[in-house]
Structure 1
Amino acid sequence: MEDILRPIYQERASQLNTLGILLVEKKQRSSQTTDSFDAILLMIVKEADQHVYTKHYSYDDKKAAMHIITELQLQEWILLGSNRKIFEWLHHSKILFDRNEYVANLKKELEEFPFHGRKIKMGLEFAKLIRRYVDGKALFENKQYLDAYNYVVHSLHHLARLAIIENGLHPELTVWQQVKQIEPEIYKLYVELVVSEETLEQRLELLFLASEFLIHSRTNIGSSHLIDVLSKKEHWMFSEIMSEPELMPYSVDMSVLLEYLIEKHLLEIVNVETKGQGVFHRCYRVSQKLS
């Protein structure tokens, strides 16, 4: 297969803009690693007009997909976990071209998973977890049980991913298989939610109680990255937090996360005077107890 695809990637390998070229071949008929294709050709470039450019090819009775992605897009996927296939592709791929060992170093970094990178990813998963948990609980209290169920499933998924990252691993597509070995308590919660014979209301009620403890026990490590960044200043306006480059990935989950951390006494409110009588800017700072 490599020989068949060589004319497609050979020209790009000679371009200085190309950092690495990888080949992922389908090993099993039922495998979804290659998105139903027989092969994935992954090209990483320094920069391009489009962050992701894809072409599909046919040869004999087989098919292949070529993805050209920028280094910036790759790093975003790795940080946010927004394209989980990328971890499988990098792990299972054969390196066809590697400029200055860029791909080899990237694979090594992913295997070692440096602690700073883990802290950021744990923070992002924790923010998503809190958003789903808080919204799900509100729906439950309003007796919207089916919608609450959907949010709880997502919150458990983020809790599972958080536990996996905490253990120094990258979450794979088979998250529940991973978490079954690492954190069986979270796995049991998920099983109880989806297969229990109790009413949906009873299942959700028990799960919110159990989840509260598991979330509380991970609050310090899940908020560690955010607390570190907010410790750099005396206090922050919300607009300053949202425009801070290191905190931008938290996006729409930030507001709910801040309120949760205030409730847990990790953050405090600072009221700063405005020109309006009795109206204050609502600012945020790390709790004085932590400093």
Structure 2
Amino acid sequence: MEKFLRPVYERYTKDVNTLGILYVESVRPHSPLTENFDLILLIIIEEADNPWCAAHYEKAGETIEVNIVTKTQLTSWIDTSGYRRAVEWIINGNIIFERNGYVKQLKAQLQNFPRKKRNLRKTIDFGKLLKSFYEAKQLYKLGEHKDAYSKIMNALQYLARLTVLEKGYYPEVMVWNQVKNIDIEVYKLFEEFMLSDEELDKKIELMLLAVDFMINNRAISGALHLLEIMETKDEWSYAELKKHPDTKAYALDLSVILSYLAENNYLDVIRKVSNGDNLFELTYKARNDSPS
């Protein structure tokens, strides 16, 4: 396979800017792991003006997607789940070339999955889980059952990813295969939603209750990255938290996370007099006696 791909990657092995080159073969037609291509070639470089560029090729009837990505961009994808397939490419990829053991070290880091990075990923997915759940709940109340069904499916997907992260693994594209092996309760919840013969409105009603219960059980774990930030200072305004560099990856869902934590007594909400009569700014304080 390396000989087959050599014309595509060879010039990069001679460039000191290149850190590593891997390839992934499709194991089945139209594989999501390889973006429906027969082969994925991942070239990791130190730096470039364009942090990610890609090209498509065909050789001897085989389709190839080449991704050239900087180390900084790749790290961002790994830490924030910006591009999940890239993690699988590194874990499952075959090393063609590496400089100073870079790719082997990267693979080892992914296997270890450091606590800080895992907590960040959990809070990212916890925020998306909350947002999907609340949207499903609102759509159900409005009688928009088909749209509510779609949002519950989204919520279940984020619940699955959160479940995998809690067990110390990176979520894969086919995440439900992972969940089936590590948390049968969550997997059966998904099966029940997919296979139940209940009327659509009843099915949604029951699933909203179940997902609400699952969220509550995972609140501390899911929001731990944010809670640990908040413990570094007595109280925080929303604006302060939103501009904090460590919340950037989930800034769009920060408001819904704070609202959930405050509503469920994981945070104290403090009202501070602001400009104008009867106008108060809300600040938030992590509680030492929050529910566990």
1:36 maps to 36
Deviations 1:235-280 (A, max 9, x none): 2221211111110111221111111000111112222333433322
In structure 2, the residue matched to 1:188 is: 188
Could you tell me how far 1:30 is from its partner in structure 2? 5.1
CA distance in 2, matches of 1:188, 1:197: 15
Partner residue of 1:80?
A: 80
Q: Deviations over 1:141-172 (max 9, x none)?
A: 22221111111111111111111111111111
| Partner-residue secondary structure (3-state), 1:233 | coil
Matching residue of 1:230: 230
Q: For residues 110 and 271 of structure 2, what CA distance do their matches in structure 1 show?
A: 42
Counterpart residue number, 1:3: 3
CA pair 29-288 structure 1, distance change in 2 beyond 3 A: closer
Quote the residue 2:70 is aligned against: 70
Q: Paired residue for 2:206?
A: 206
Q: Secondary structure at the match of 2:189?
A: helix
1:275/1:35 CA distance change after superposition, 3 Å = closer
5 Å-filtered alignment, 1:36-185, equals 36-185=36-185
Separation in 2, partners of 1:60, 1:8: 14
| C-alpha distance in 2 between matches for 1:194 and 1:114 | 34
**How far apart are 1:83 and its partner, in Å?**
1.8
Is 2:262 the partner of 1:273? no
Aligned length: 290
Residues 262 and 169 of structure 1: is their aligned pair in 2 closer, same or farther, counting only changes over 3 Å? same
> What residue identity is the alignment partner of 1:31?
S
Letter of the 1:40 partner, please give it: I
Secondary structure of residue in 1 paired with 2:42: strand
Per-residue displacement from partner, 1:73-101 (whole Å, max 9, x unpaired)?
Answer: 21121122232211221122111111221
The TM-score, its normalising length taken from structure 2, stands at: 0.93
Q: Which amino acid aligns with 1:92?
A: N
The 3-state SS of whatever aligns with 2:54 is strand
Aligned counterparts of 2:151 and 2:28: Cα–Cα separation in 1: 33
Q: Distance in 2 between matches of 1:244 and 1:172?
A: 29
Q: Distance in 1 between matches of 2:153 and 2:63?
A: 35
1:192–1:203 Cα contact (<8 Å) kept: no
Q: Deviations over 1:30-55 (max 9, x none)?
A: 53322232222111112212121111
Equivalents in 2 of 1:150, 1:41: separation in Å? 34
Cα separation, 2, equivalents of 1:133 and 1:37 = 34
User: TM-score, normalised on structure 1?
Assistant: 0.94
- Matched with 2:218 is 218
1:288 to partner: Cα distance: 5.1
Contact kept in structure 1, 2:20 and 2:103, CA below 8 Å: yes
The amino acid that maps onto 2:268 is: E
Between the aligned partners of 2:31 and 2:155, the Cα distance in structure 1 is 27
Residue pair 1:132, 1:155 contacting (<8 A) in 2 also:
yes
Q: Distance in 2 between matches of 1:245 and 1:43?
A: 29
Deviation track 1:162-214 (CA, whole Å, cap 9, x = no partner) reads: 11111111111111121112111111111221221111111111111222221
**CA separation in 1, counterparts of 2:190 and 2:201?**
15
Structure 1 gap segments, 5+ residues each:
none
CA–CA distance in structure 2, aligned partners of residues 29 and 274 of structure 1: 61
CA contact (8 A) 1:23 1:93 kept: yes
Query: What's the RMSD between the two structures over aligned residues?
Result: 1.6
Output the CA distance in 2 between the equivalents of 1:281 and 1:14: 58
Range moving further from structure 2, 26-35 or 267-276: 26-35
Secondary structure, in 3 states, of the residue corresponding to 2:24? strand
CA distance in structure 2 between the partners assigned to 1:274 and 1:263 by the alignment = 22
Q: In 1, are the aligned partners of 2:32 and 2:173 still within 8 Å (CA)?
A: no
Q: How far off its partner does 1:29 sit?
A: 3.7
